[in-house]
């Protein structure tokens, strides 16, 4: 089976500001390990296929960062001129693969910036998903078994068991659920009928292109215009001209919530996180805490300090005295000091910077 991992790496989040910047977003940060998140994502799936099968959809804006990361590798890199959410990115990758003769091979869509603990199980689930996608022409997602009533994630409601593969039950997905409130989240988790939506999808290029044609015709028309230029000198110019007018739509909203094709969920309980905030970085790296629960990256001296995350990318020394539950992130241009319980509120900070005309700090 010829598998095609497709890593969606064009995002530009703000939740790790000031370590993440417009020109260096989360997937290029070394917040979880000495490698960048995108390198970790690549590493997890490399053994599933020949190097040349691995496709990364990146952003033109991060061209040189990406170039440094994949130097000497045979990965396929497609650079989007503008961010248009996941549906166009996945459509573009599917188009490329179909044109290369892989239209009926499974492609695995993977966010570039998530955390996975048990990589062996993760790979195993992906291979199961690929088989379903190839043999049944199905749309497959990996349903993350929830471990807490998280209100920050979307959920999948599963209906009946569809089949079993190597001891793993495969479910039909009933519906996609947006981020719930606390009460609903608790109900979902206790019911045992819900998965977290981890944004991992598996299908063949042919299948997803059919879905895009049906549910996102404007995007499909754009893809057709791009298709004719693939491998030709005018490709990049046409890509830019098409992308400029494409709507921004997520694959979840644009296809998954609308398709009449069955969606199958392969359950995964491999330890997953979307690494959505500094606080989650602190939690995920518990093994690296000192005795007082502090995590220190870079030059830092902590005195009478507990449960702190110091992420220091500058040449300064950070010194703390008498603090608790605090996040300090330092770069050459900015030092952020925040209450750890507020790490979800980075958007507020970004908005304030924009309001003050300090775009150069973003």
Binding site for a copy of itself (CB under 8 A): 18, 301, 303-304, 314-323, 326, 328, 330-339, 341-342, 345-346, 348-349, 352-353, 356, 358, 361
Q: Which is nearer to a copy of itself, 36 or 312 (CB)?
A: 312
Ordered DSSP codes for 127-162: HHHHHHHHHH--EEEEEEPPSS--SSS-EEEEEEEE
Q: Smallest distance from the beta carbon of 180 to a copy of itself, in angstroms?
A: 25
In sequence order, the β-bridge partners of residue 158 are 173
Instruction: Tell me the residue length of the chain.
Output: 362
From residue 332, alpha-carbon distances to 73, 78, 335, 352 in Å are 31, 31, 8, 20
Task: Show the tokens assigned to 235.
Answer: 């490709």
Q: Smallest distance from the beta carbon of 22 to a copy of itself, in angstroms?
A: 16
Q: Smallest distance from the beta carbon of 305 to a copy of itself, in angstroms?
A: 9
Q: Which is nearer to a copy of itself, 121 or 316 (CB)?
A: 316
Q: Which is nearer to a copy of itself, 224 or 358 (CB)?
A: 358
Find out whether 140 and 173 touch, Cβ atoms under 8 Å.
no
Contacts of 302 (CB under 8 A, 6+ apart): 290, 292, 294, 296, 308, 310, 319, 320
Q: Smallest distance from the beta carbon of 292 to a copy of itself, in angstroms?
A: 14
Q: Smallest distance from the beta carbon of 4 to a copy of itself, in angstroms?
A: 42
Give the angle 202-205-206 at the CA atoms, nearest 5°. 120
Q: Which is nearer to a copy of itself, 17 or 243 (CB)?
A: 17
Q: Which is nearer to a copy of itself, 260 or 359 (CB)?
A: 359
Q: Which is nearer to a copy of itself, 260 or 360 (CB)?
A: 360
Give the angle 180-14-359 at the CA atoms, nearest 5°. 140
Q: Smallest distance from the beta carbon of 286 to a copy of itself, in angstroms?
A: 23
Q: Smallest distance from the beta carbon of 342 to a copy of itself, in angstroms?
A: 4
Q: Which is nearer to a copy of itself, 169 or 301 (CB)?
A: 301
CA–CA gap between residue 60 and residue 73 (Å, rounded): 18
- The dihedral region occupied by 180, where left means phi > 0, alpha psi between -120 and 50, and beta the remainder, is beta
């Amino acid at each position: 089976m010829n598998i095609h991992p497709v890593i969606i790496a064009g995002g530009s989040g703000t939740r790790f500001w000031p370590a993440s910047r417009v020109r260096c977003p989360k997937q290029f940060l070394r917040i979880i390990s000495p490698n960048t998140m995108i390198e970790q994502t690549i590493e997890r799936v490399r053994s599933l296929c020949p190097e040349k099968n691995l496709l990364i959809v990146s952003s033109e804006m991060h061209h040189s960062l990406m170039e440094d990361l994949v130097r000497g590798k045979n990965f396929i890199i497609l650079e989007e001129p503008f961010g248009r959410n996941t549906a166009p990115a996945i459509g573009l990758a599917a188009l490329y693969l179909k044109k290369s003769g892989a239209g009926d091979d499974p492609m695995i869509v993977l966010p570039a910036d998530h955390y996975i603990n048990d990589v062996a199980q993760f790979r195993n689930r992906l291979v199961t998903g690929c088989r379903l996608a190839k043999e049944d022409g199905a749309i497959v997602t990996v349903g993350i078994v929830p471990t807490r009533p998280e209100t920050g994630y979307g959920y999948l409601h599963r209906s009946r068991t569809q089949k079993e593969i190597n001891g793993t039950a495969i479910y039909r997905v009933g519906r996609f659920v947006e981020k719930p409130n606390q009460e609903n989240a608790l109900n979902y988790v206790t019911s045992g009928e819900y998965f977290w939506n981890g944004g991992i999808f598996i299908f063949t290029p042919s299948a997803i292109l059919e879905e895009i044609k049906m549910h996102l015709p404007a995007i499909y028309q754009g893809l057709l215009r791009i298709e004719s230029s693939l491998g030709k000198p005018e490709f990049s110019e046409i890509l830019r001209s098409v992308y400029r007018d494409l709507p921004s739509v997520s694959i979840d909203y644009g296809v998954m919530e609308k398709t009449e094709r069955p969606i199958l969920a392969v359950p995964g309980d491999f330890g997953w996180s979307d690494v959505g905030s500094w606080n989650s970085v602190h939690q995920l790296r518990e093994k690296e805490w000192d005795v007082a629960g502090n995590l220190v990256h870079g030059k830092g001296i902590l005195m009478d300090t507990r449960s702190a995350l110091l992420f220091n990318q500058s040449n300064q020394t950070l010194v703390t005295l008498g603090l608790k539950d605090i996040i300090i992130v330092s770069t050459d241009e900015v030092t952020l000091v925040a209450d750890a319980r507020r790490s979800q509120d980075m958007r507020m900070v970004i908005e304030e910077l924009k309001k003050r005309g300090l775009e150069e700090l973003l």
